[in-house]
Structure 1
């Protein structure tokens, strides 16, 4: 009798222990599932290649901005971005965007009609003679310096992209730019191909007028700007960039030293 009374609680204890272990396993599985779900959601936050979306307001987007004629009321017509430089005051865009530098202003991080990081006046332009003398599409890249604003240099405010020329033909490129009829930047990433030995090509929809000068980024470094062949492309689905070679690097160094 005593043995039976002792053995029954023992079986129940073992059952409760098994139940507790099962509960712990189920809890662990549920936690793992939740974690995997979060990871999957985060992974899907990056749009598929070749799909254009509104750019996130992140550290990349604040270094990219719109070029304005005279000020915010003048409307934006091209895109530019900040690059690292000795003087911490250099931006890059397509050379065809800088026909009137004396009245051009740059608004990094421009979004929804506001310039949260200020409006910066251009002070100097560095373009290749091949562009200034004959508008050679292979030279459609230019650098410019901007004046300090409230005693600060632009790179100290928003940071800058390193410059990485001579990328492989099939490099994956991210493009951030402002269509002239939009007040927020667009983002698209895709693998590129060489259209020619001096021009790079990417397929990304909706990169219409105003996105000229948009930075082409490889692993967060500048590898070109939207421009070149056909002024960057005659249809919004296909865009071009002059390949960044020795002449573009020389221009960059001149701008950096002169700033």
Structure 2
């Protein structure tokens, strides 16, 4: 499995900053943040530990075999007739389904909704043949667990196609250095014809596959996923900027393939 989210170079040299400059900068940041927080009290673009919510329960970490081996990517549940479908980045599942498990709502070493085995993976032929970054999306079917289906346990977000530009979204994902998910809200914009781009801090190794969710209904807590961290530079070369392949018609075709196979 490739390691995909690179951290900034710790040895990069930086110009010393005077104490006075630090004080001025701190004041400016506080002033800029005043009145610009999201509904949850968080500054747009600033990651924070995700709250325990129905929305967060649909996001989980991917593991090799089980929880003991540590998580390596993020995935989320997408609504489907078979109630058994995940969406993530294709580069997270380059080695197929063998031994890969999903723990929705994973936190602090615990899997409150169980550990689900992935049984099949679907990627676009442009990714399978050429690793085309505009098609870095995968759907994965999960097997039932103790007679239950995943979507009946935690629900699933709708799949959103052709989302356009300047959509406000929430990212939720698992850095591999933490056992708690991070969330961040900001506006996603187009990056070329085949990508979306967003500014969110601290999305480092392990956050590939994190869903970009918009339009969450306040009563059902169901939203629409319009992207996953991946695509350009396999998600981004720094922790502060992330990308997603654009969810166009071919993502819809891929979704229908997975649904037809029981997802």
TM-score, length-scaled by structure 2:
0.81
Match of 2:115 in 1: 119
Cα pair distance change 1:182/1:257, threshold 3 Å:
same
Match of 1:154 in 2: 150
Counterpart of 2:256 (choices 248, 253, 256) is 253
Q: Does 2:139 correspond to 1:143?
A: yes
Match of 1:99 in 2: 94
Report how far residue 194 of structure 1 moved: 1.2
Match of 1:175 in 2: 171
Report how far residue 46 of structure 1 moved: 3.4
**Which is helix-richer, 1 or 2?**
1
- Deviation string for 1:139-177 (max 9, x for gaps)? 000101000000000000000000111112111111000
Report how far residue 228 of structure 1 moved: 0.2
Q: Contact 1:86–1:257 at 8 Å: present in 2 too?
A: no
Partner Cα distance (2:104, 2:189) in 1: 29
Partner Cα distance (1:108, 1:50) in 2: 24
SS in 1 for 2:153: helix
Q: Contact 1:107–1:117 at 8 Å: present in 2 too?
A: yes
TM-score, length-scaled by structure 1:
0.82
Larger radius of gyration: 1
User: Structure 2 stretches of 5 or more lacking a match?
Assistant: 1-34, 216-222
Q: Does 2:234 correspond to 1:231?
A: yes
Q: Does 2:89 correspond to 1:86?
A: no
Report how far residue 193 of structure 1 moved: 1.6
Counterpart of 1:203 (choices 199, 204, 210) is 199
User: How many residues get paired?
Assistant: 219
Q: RMSD value over aligned CA atoms?
A: 1.4
Report how far residue 48 of structure 1 moved: 1.9
User: Structure 1 stretches of 5 or more lacking a match?
Assistant: 1-39
